[in-house]
Structure 1
Amino acid sequence: MTSRFDDVALRAPVDPALARAEGRELVRHEGGRSGEAAAGGWIVFQSAVLVVGAGALAALCVLMVQLMFGAPGADATTVVIAGLMVVPLAVMRIRGVVRGRRASEVGWYRLRRFTEANGMSYTAVEKDPVRPAALFRVGSLRVAGDLVTGTAHRPFEVANYAYSTWTGSTRMPHTACYVMFTVRTALPPMTLVTAARDVPSCAWGVPPSHRPLVMGGSFDVHFQVLCAPQDDDAVRRLLTPAVQETLVELAGNCDVEIVDGRVFFIARWALPNTAPAFWEWIEDLAALVDEQLDRQGGSAVPGRRVADEARRSRRATLFARTRLRGTAVVGCLIPLLFGVVAAALTSANMW
C-alpha cells in the first residue's frame, strides 16, 4: 500500500443533493427497490415501537401520580400528558434518523472518491464475511460495512464490522473495526488482548491451543499475549522492545491477532473511517507491519510517525468514547418532570 494517502476527497465540501442521489443509488444496488423499502419500513417500525413503548411507560407514570393525588383512575388527561411527554422523544428520533441517513450518504460519497483517488476498491456491504481471525467465528447477522481493500505494495483490508450474539432470546449487537494486512514472512500465530480501560468486552475468544505468555516489563500491563506453547520462543523474538513500544502506541486500544499469514488489528467498536486521522492511523499500522513485523523493507519508518505529537493527538481522537453529556441527561429529565408536575396539578385541581 502507499505510504501516504491522498485525503483530499475526505476534506473537500460535499454537495448534499449529489450525495443523497448517490446514496439512494447505492441502496438500490445493494438491496433493490424492495430492499430500500424494507430498510425504510424497518426504521419506521423501530421508531414506532420506541415511541409507543415510551408512551405506555409515560402513561403508567402519569397514572401512578394521579392515583397518589386522589384521582379515581385514568382519564383523558392521562393520555394527553403522556403524549406530551413523548413528543420530545419522537422529535429526537426523527432528527436522529435524518441526521444518520445524511451522514451515511456523505460518508459513502467521500469514501468512494477517496478509494478511487488512491487506487483502492470500495464495497458498501459484505454479508457473512469469512476471515481467519476469531472475530469472524462468533455470532450471527454478520456484516462488514464500508469495506476498503488495497493491493499495491502491501495488501490490506479495512472495514467496520457488525454482528450479534444471543443471551437466551435477547439479542446483543456488537461492532468492531478491523484492519487486516497480508504478510510475506512466516510469523508465529498469536493473539494480543488489550488491557486498556474503557474498552468494551469482546464476544470472541482465542484459539483453545493458545496459552498466556508473560513477556515481562510494562508490555504485560498493556496486553495479554497468548500463543501455543511451541511458539513461545518465536513470539519473544518477534515482540522486541521496539515492536512492543510501537504496538502500545498505535494499537494499545485494540486486539491484535496474527493468523494464516495475516495481521489483524481489531478495535472493539466502529471507528470514523471518513476522518483523515483514521487513514493516518492505517498508514502508521502499515509502517509497523512493513518495518517491524514483516521486515520486508519499505518507505515508511514507524518510529518517526509514532513520535509525531500532532499525529498522536489526532490518533487519540479516533478512540475517544462518546459520553452522555449533562445537557442530554437534563433533556431526558425535563419531560419526566413535566409529566409528574402536570399529573399532580391536574389531579389536585380536579379532585
Structure 2
Amino acid sequence: MTDPGTTRFDARPLTDPVDPRAVTAFLREMRAQHPPTATAVISWVLFGAVGLMFAFVLITVSVGIASSGAFGGSVGPLLLPVLIFVSVAAVIAVITVVAYRRRRVERYRIARFAAANNMVYEDRVLNTPLPGMIFGRGSSRMSTSLVRGHQPRFVEFANYQYTVKSGKSSTTYRWGYVAVKLDVPLPHIVLDAVGNNALGSNLPSSFDRDQRLSLEGDFDQYFHLYCPQGYEADALYLFTPDIMARFIDNAAQLDVEIIDDWLFLYLQRPVSTTDPATWAWLFGVVGALMTKFDQWARWRDERLQVAQPSAAPGQAPLPFAAPAGLLTPPPGVAEPGRRLKSRGSWVALLVIGLIFLLMQVPRLFGFFGGMP
C-alpha cells in the first residue's frame, strides 16, 4: 500500500483513458465473483418486458392512427401526446444507459487505482461484518467499491448503503467510510463533527448527553466527544492535545467512531470515487492519525481483573505473589466501556409528537362541535 502518510500516490488510473474491451473483461470478472441474485435477475427481466410491451403498444397505436382515415386524415392532435411520451421515454432510456456505462468505467478505474497503489479492490460485500454504528441497520446492507490496504496496517475505503422501511415507504441511506484496524480494543468513543450537522446530529445513533466530554482548547467547536461514563480520564489519555490538533486540522468534516479495535471515519458521500482530490484528502487524514496509533496501543483498562499466578492442581502453593499494582491488565475493555448508551433522536421524537397531535385534531373538532 502506498504510504498513507503522504499524498504521493499514483492517481493516473482515475483519469487516464480506458480501453472498452478491458472494461468489459473487468465486468465479466466481477460478475463471475458476484453472480446476480435471483431477485435482481427477475427485476431486470420484468423491467425489460414492461419496456418492450410499452414500446410495442405505442408503435402499434401510432401506426394504426396514422394509417386510419377515421379522423379525416387529421391525426396531428392524436399523435402529439404519443410522440411526447415516446420522446420522454427515449430520453430516460438514454440517461439510464449513459449512467450505467459511466458506473462501469468508474468501477474499473477504482480497481486499477487500487492495483497501482499496492491495494486490493473488491466490488461488493453484502452485510458488511463491521461493528460501527452505520452497519447492521435496516436491510439490503451492502458495501461497494472497496479498496483495502494491509501495510502498515489494515485500512478499508468503501461506500455503504442500507434501506430502512417505515410502513409502505422505504428510505435508502448512503455513506462513505474509512475503517482502520487498531492494535488493541479501546473504549467506545464517538466524535460528532459539528461542521456537517444541520438540524441536530447527522449520525444514525444518538447518545445520552451525560456521556459528553468537553475537552480543552477549541476542540468542542469542531467535535462533540462522547465516551462511556467513568472513562473520561481514558478519553483524555487517548486524545492528547497533539492528537486533537490532528483531528481538527485533517478530519473536521468527518464523523469518527472508535469501537472495539476499529476506528471509523464517516462521510455522507462516496469515499471510493474517481476524484483524485478526495483520495489525497483521505490518505492525508489516515496518515496524520496513523502516526499516533502507537500511543493508543499502550492503553490498558485498569478495570479489567488481573488473575494472580496460581499453582497447578496437586502442587504446593507458589511461595510468592506479584506486588499489587505491578500486574498490567491484558488488552481489552471492561463491559461498561464497550458501548455508549444510546437515546432516541430528538428529531424523530418531534416528528412522532407532531403526527400524534395531528391525529388528535379530528377528535378535538368533534369534541368542540358537540358542545352546546
TM-score range, shorter chain: 0.5 to 0.7
**Structure 1 pair 231–25 and aligned structure 2 pair: CA distance change class (3 A):** same
Write the mapping of 1:84-99 to structure 2, written as runs, cut at 5 A. Answer: 86=85, 89-99=88-98
Alignment of 1:223-302 (within 5 A): 223-271=223-271, 273-295=273-295
Say yes or no: does 1:13 pair with 2:17.
yes
* Superposed counterparts of 1:300-315, under 5 Å: none
**In the alignment, what sits opposite 1:334?**
none
CA–CA separation in structure 2 for the residues paired with 1:241 and 1:233: 14
Does structure 1 conserve the Cα–Cα contact (< 8 Å) formed by 2:162 and 2:173? yes
CA contact (8 A) 2:177 2:271 kept: no
The residue number in structure 1 matching 2:111 is 112
Partner of 1:132: 131
User: Matches of residues 146-161 of structure 1 in structure 2 within 5 Å?
Assistant: 146-161=145-160
Deviation at 1:179, TM superposition (A): 0.3
Cα deviation, residue 276, structure 1: 1.8
For the Cα contact (< 8 Å) 1:127–1:144, is it kept in 2? yes
Following the alignment from structure 1 to structure 2, what is the Cα–Cα distance between the partners of residues 47 and 280? 43
- CA drift of 1:175 comes to 0.5
What is the 5 A alignment of 1:137-176? 137-176=136-175
2:222 equivalent to 1:222:
yes
Partner letter of residue 136 of structure 2? R
Query: What code does the residue aligned with 1:135 have?
Result: I
Larger deviation, residues 201-210 vs 3-12: 201-210
Matched residues in 1 for 2:287 and 2:273: separation?
A: 19
Alpha-carbon distance in structure 2 between the residues aligned to 1:45 and 1:256 = 46
Aligned residue type for 2:225:
V
Deviation at 1:100, TM superposition (A): 1.7
Which amino acid is 1:290 matched to? Answer: M
Give the letter aligned to residue 188 of structure 2: P
Shift of 1:265: 0.2
Q: Percent identity?
A: 26
Alpha-carbon distance in 2 for matches of 1:139, 1:146: 20
Q: Which residue of 2 aligns with 1:26?
A: 30
Give the match for residue 338 of structure 1: none
What's the CA shift for 1:261? 1.3
Residues 145 and 160 in structure 1, CA contact (< 8 A), matched pair in contact too:
yes
Q: Which amino acid aligns with 2:14?
A: L
Residue 153 of structure 1 aligns with an amino acid whose one-letter code is: P
Supply the distance in 2 between the matched residues of 1:42 and 1:289 (Cα, whole angstroms): 49
Deviations 1:306-332, CA, capped at 9 Å, x for gaps: xxxxxxxxxxxxxxxxxxxxxxxxxxx
Aligned residue number for residue 212 of structure 2: 212
Per-residue deviation at 1:30? 1.5
Q: Choose between structure 1 and 2 for higher RCO, CA contacts under 8 A separated by at least 6 residues.
A: 1
Residue 121 (structure 1) aligned with residue 126 (structure 2): no
- Post-superposition CA distance 1:147-196 (Å, at most 9, x none): 12111212111110011112222110010011011122554320111222
TM-score by length of 1: 0.66
Structure 2 distance, partners of 1:166, 1:251, is 32
Q: Does the CA contact (< 8 Å) of 2:191 and 2:226 recur in 1?
A: yes
In the TM superposition, residue 257 of structure 1 has moved relative to its aligned partner by 0.3
Runs of 5+ in structure 2 lacking a partner?
56-74, 298-372
CA contact (8 A) 1:27 1:36 kept: no
- Taking a change above 3 Å as real, the CA distance of residues 19 and 230 of structure 1, as seen in their structure-2 partners, is same
Aligned-residue offset at 1:205:
1.2
Instruction: Return the alpha-carbon distance in structure 1 between the equivalents of residues 202 and 139 of structure 2.
Output: 15
Distance 2:101 2:82 in 1: 28
SS in 1 for 2:131: coil
More helix by share: 1
Bigger-Rg structure (1/2): 2
> Over residues 12-56 of structure 1, what are the superposed CA-to-partner deviations in whole Å (9 max), with x where a residue is unaligned?
2112343134224423541259687446447658989xx99xxxx
Instruction: Report the 3-state secondary structure (helix = DSSP H, G, I; strand = E; otherwise coil) of the residue aligned with 1:180.
Output: strand
Q: d(CA) in 2 for partners of 1:32 and 1:26?
A: 10
One-letter code aligned to 2:236: R
- Is contact 1:209-1:227 (8 Å) kept? no
Contact 1:120 1:151 in 2 (8 A): yes
Question: 1:145·1:159 contact (CA, 8 Å) conserved in 2?
Answer: yes
Equivalenced residues, count = 274
1:66 equivalent in structure 2: none
Taking only aligned residues, the RMSD between alpha carbons, in angstroms, comes to 3.6
